[in-house]
Amino acid sequence: MDLVAFIGDDKENWGQVTGLINRGEWGKIFLIKNQNANTFPYHSKAELISVDSSKKLLELKKEISDKIKGKFSEFDAHLSIASGNGKEHMALISALLSLPVGIRLVAFTKNGVEMIN
C-alpha cells in the first residue's frame, strides 16, 4: 500500500515520518511538503510534492488534489498527519477523499509501524 505524509514546519515531528518511511513496506511514498520545509531529509524512495500552505484552505486542497491525482497504485493509502497544522491536514484529507482514495491512519511507535484506526 502507498504512504502519504504531510511535512510541515514542525521539525520535531519529522522523525515520525522518517521512521514510517524507513520501517514500513510501501508501494509508493508521497511526501506533501509546504514550501518552508525545504530541509526535510530527502528520501530516494519518496516523491516530494511541494505546496503553498499560505493559500486559503480550498485553494490548498485543489493544489494538492491536482498534484496527486492519478498517482496512487491502489484505492486506499496509509496517511501520516504527524507533521503539519490543522489547515494542511484538512486540505490533504479532503483532497485524498475527493479523488477518491480511502485513508488508513498510520503512526511510527516504539512497536514499529502501527495502524491507528
Bridge partners of residue 49, in order along the sequence: 32
Beta strands in the chain (DSSP E): 2-7, 29-34, 46-51, 76-80, 102-109, 112-115
pLDDT confidence of residue 9: 87
Classify residue 5 by burial, with Cβ atoms within 10 Å: 0-12, 13-18, 19+.
Answer: buried
Please give the grid coordinates belonging to residue 52: 503553498
pLDDT confidence of residue 63: 97
Alpha-carbon distance of 95 to 16, in angstroms, equals 22
pLDDT confidence of residue 41: 76
Classify residue 54 by burial, with Cβ atoms within 10 Å: 0-12, 13-18, 19+.
Answer: exposed
- Every domain of the chain and the residues it spans: 2-115
pLDDT tens digits for range 83-114:
999 999 999 999 999 999 999 999 999 998 99
Say what the pTM is: 0.91
**2-115 belongs to which CATH class?**
alpha beta
Mark the ranges of the chain whose per-residue pLDDT is less than 70: none
